[in-house]
A and B are shown apart, each in its own frame.
Chain A
Amino acid sequence: MRVTCTGIIAGVAGLLLLPALAGAQSDAPRSPWKYYPEEARANEGPGGPAPVRDLTGTWLGESSGGGVPRLVRPESPPPLTPLGQQVFEQRIVEGPGVSVADTNDPHYRYCDPFGFPRNMNDQIRSMTIATIPDRTFVLLKFMNIWREIWTDGRDLPTRFTGRGADVHDPTYNGYSVGYWEDDYTFVVQTTGMAADTTWATEQGYPHSVDAVVTERFHRSSKNDLTVTTTMVDPRLYTRPVQMGEVYFRWSPRQTFFDFSCVPSTVQQYLEEMADPAGTGAAP
Chain B
Amino acid sequence: MKTKIKVMVFLLGGLAAIASPSIAHHSASAFDMSAPVVLEGAVVTEFLWINPHPLIKADYTDEQGNTRNWTMEMGSTVSAQLVGWTRTALLPGDVVTLYVWAAKSGAPVGRFNKVEFDDGTVLRDSQRGADDGGRSDQGLRQ
Residues of A within 8 A of B (CB): 3-4, 6-15, 17-18, 21, 24-25, 28, 37, 41, 62-63, 65, 67-70, 94-101, 108, 111, 125, 257, 259-262, 265-266, 268-269, 272-274, 276-283
Query: Could you list some 9 contacts between A and B, CB below 8 A?
Result: A3-B132, A13-B11, A65-B141, A70-B142, A97-B29, A99-B27, A259-B51, A262-B50, A274-B30
A105 to chain B, nearest CB (A): 11
Complex Cα gap A265–B49 (Å): 10
B17 touches A8 (CB 8 A): yes
Interface residue B61 (Cβ < 8 Å from any Cβ of A): no
| Chain B 1-14 interface 0/1 with A at a Cβ cutoff of 8 Å (1 = within) | 10010011011111
A7 touches B11 (CB 8 A): no
B17 touches A10 (CB 8 A): yes
A65 touches B82 (CB 8 A): yes
Contacts of A28 in B (CB 8 A): 1
A108 touches B52 (CB 8 A): yes
Contacts of A6 in B (CB 8 A): 14, 17
Contacts of B107 in A (CB 8 A): 276-278
Interface residue B89 (Cβ < 8 Å from any Cβ of A): no
- Which residue in chain A gives the minimum CB-CB distance to B106? A283
**Known pairs A7-B130, A17-B7, A257-B81. 6 more at Cβ < 8 A?**
A7-B131, A14-B11, A98-B27, A273-B109, A278-B107, A280-B31
Do most interface residues of chain B lie in helix, strand or loop, or is the interface mixed?
Answer: mixed
Contacts of B17 in A (CB 8 A): 3-4, 6-8, 10-11
- The stretch from B37-45, B72-80, B91-99 touching chain A is B72-80
Complex Cα gap A88–B19 (Å): 34
Instruction: Tell which of B23, B82, B130 touches A96, judged by Cβ atoms closer than 8 Å.
Output: B23
Contacts of B31 in A (CB 8 A): 277, 280
- Which residue in chain B gives the minimum CB-CB distance to A69? B142
Complex Cα gap A63–B111 (Å): 20
Contacts of A97 in B (CB 8 A): 27, 29
- Which residue in chain A gives the minimum CB-CB distance to B82? A65
A21-B7, A69-B142 given as contacts; is B14 within 8 A of A11 (CB)?
Answer: yes
B16 to chain A, nearest CB (A): 7
| Chain B 128-142 interface 0/1 with A at a Cβ cutoff of 8 Å (1 = within) | 001110000101111
Contacts of A11 in B (CB 8 A): 11, 14-15, 17-19
B47 to chain A, nearest CB (A): 13
- Which residue in chain A gives the minimum CB-CB distance to B79? A63
A278-B104, A283-B105 given as contacts; is B73 within 8 A of A65 (CB)?
Answer: no
